[in-house]
Structure 1
Amino acid sequence: MSLVKRGTVYGTRMNFRGELDALGAQVNEAPYKAAPQAPVLYVKPANTWTENGGTIALPAHVAEVEVGATVAMVMRSAREIEGFVLMNDVSIPHDSFYRPPVKYNALDGFLGIGDRVRARNEAGDPAVFKLEVRVNGELKQTVRFSQLVRPADKLLADVGEFMTLQPGDMLMLGTDAGRPRVRAGDRVEIKMPALGTLTNLFVAEAA
């Protein structure tokens, strides 16, 4: 394992079949009129980053947030993966999937990041990754990466068609439907044996 060397962090929308299925007919409505033909990406800027074990503050006007348990590829070069790291992609619940405003997913602290990168040859095949998400010790979601629309290598190749990733950049594989919602006072644990456990405590924003 190695420490996380952070470049730009990119999230991926609609890369789980369950997430696409949950949208139903909405994917065929204007202005898009079809499921995405290329990866749909967004940025989690540095102000969102929270360490493993750190607290994530909910703004006063936000009663609950969604927990987006996922794994990110950490890049060694534009096309070479150094390894994988756990992430908790937090967002305010919203209905906009194609172009979600940054006010929903780029708030301060809204990305929990694991503290270690597991090398690809140690982590195993990402197609069989499985995460368990626990809230206050209770299992709330199991995320199976066999359900990806674009598996890790395909996602990386497709992203490389229109942009160049830099060493240290991190590309999330996506978050599945059924994301748990949490409130201030809840403790979230995202666990996978090969990648360890990412823990964050949600708190109310200080007055």
Structure 2
Amino acid sequence: MLDAEGRLRDLSGVVPDIAGDVLTNLPQIDPQGLPLVEGAPRLGPPVGRIGKFIGIGLNYLDHAAETGMAPPDHPIVFMKATSSIIGPNDTVSLPRSSRHSDWEVELGVVIGKPAKYVSEADALDHVAGYCIVNDVSERTFQAKLSGQWTKGKSCDTFGPIGPWLVTPDEVGDPQNLNLSLDLNGERMQTGHTGTMIFSVAKIIAHLTEMMSLQPGDVIATGTPPGVGMGMTPKRFLTEGDEMELRIDGLGTQRQTVARDP
């Protein structure tokens, strides 16, 4: 847990993990009563035992335009393998044959209560919190290897999540957040969640018409413009690149890019 001074506090004496039923009733804790964490430990994903890692495609009008695709009539849904999940500052490792891996800063939504056939009006009541997701995507795997987008979205390390799970009372309106991504110190993506085609509430309501959502499920809600595949000439990740992602109130992610040996 992060206290008001930005110091890490140890939650292990209060909850076994930030996962499952804990997300349904997050305890109200004064962080000043928790032990300080010494040193600078690695931060893992802020949610444990993620059951479903769901992506929403082409959810910003200007991103759809840069890819040359028509805005969808309904949310485009794909799955990212949970084996892609890493911490917010871990290394992103490109698959051996990858030459077209891309970046995507996204608002992540963490489900806190079971949800099925949820109305748009009630959808946000089922959210435990929000976080940053980098929906790293291998474009050749995604579009040229036949089948579904899942191939290009699920490579190991292609799902950095965190650093923080921030509760809805702290975030406020999820449709009023600025997003950005820098590559090697150069701004690539600048966006605002108010330009989503489908709001967080609409996405949750839509998904629960087809599947139940459970505590710990994570939804990546789409990316604003500025991805590498939308540039002229196109630009993709290479070894040694450094990505830095920010969303208002949700902290900062930083990843260095390597390649699978």
TM-score, normalized by the shorter chain, greater than 0.5: yes
Unmatched tracts of structure 1, length 5 or more: 28-34
1:41 aligns with 2:82: no
Structure exhibiting the larger radius of gyration computed from Cα positions? 2
Query: In structure 2, the residue corresponding to 1:118 is in which secondary structure?
Result: coil
The corresponding residue for 1:125 is: 173
C-alpha separation between the residues in 2 aligned to 1:23 and 1:204? 26
1:82 paired residue among 128, 133, 136 = 128
Q: CA RMSD in A?
A: 2.3
Describe the superposition over 1:132-185 as per-residue Cα deviations: whole angstroms up to 9, x where unpaired. Answer: 211122222112111100111121112222221111101111122321432110
Question: Percent of aligned pairs with the same residue?
Answer: 26
Unmatched tracts of structure 2, length 5 or more: 2-17, 19-45, 116-122, 229-235
C-alpha separation between the residues in 2 aligned to 1:153 and 1:199? 28
C-alpha separation between the residues in 2 aligned to 1:191 and 1:140? 12
C-alpha separation between the residues in 1 aligned to 2:162 and 2:98? 25
Is the 8 Å Cα contact of residues 83 and 120 (structure 1) preserved in structure 2? yes
The corresponding residue for 1:19 is: 63
| Structure showing the higher strand proportion among its residues | 1
**TM-score, normalising length: structure 2:** 0.69
Partner AA of 2:253 in structure 1: L
1:135 paired residue among 183, 207, 215 = 183
Partner AA of 1:4 in structure 2: V
Question: In 2 relative to 1, CA 102–156 (structure 1 residues): closer, same or farther, beyond 3 Å?
Answer: closer
Query: In structure 2, the residue corresponding to 1:126 is in which secondary structure?
Result: coil
Q: In the TM superposition, what is the alpha-carbon distance from 1:23 to its structure 2 partner?
A: 5.0
Query: In structure 1, the residue corresponding to 2:51 is in which secondary structure?
Result: coil
Is the 8 Å Cα contact of residues 73 and 170 (structure 1) preserved in structure 2? yes
Partner AA of 1:92 in structure 2: E
Q: In the TM superposition, what is the alpha-carbon distance from 1:130 to its structure 2 partner?
A: 0.9
1:52 aligns with 2:98: no
Query: In structure 2, the residue corresponding to 1:127 is in which secondary structure?
Result: coil
Q: How does 1:62-73 map to 2 (within 5 A)?
A: 62-73=98-109
1:179 aligns with 2:223: no
Aligned pair count reads 198
C-alpha separation between the residues in 1 aligned to 2:143 and 2:175? 28
Query: In structure 1, the residue corresponding to 2:138 is in which secondary structure?
Result: coil
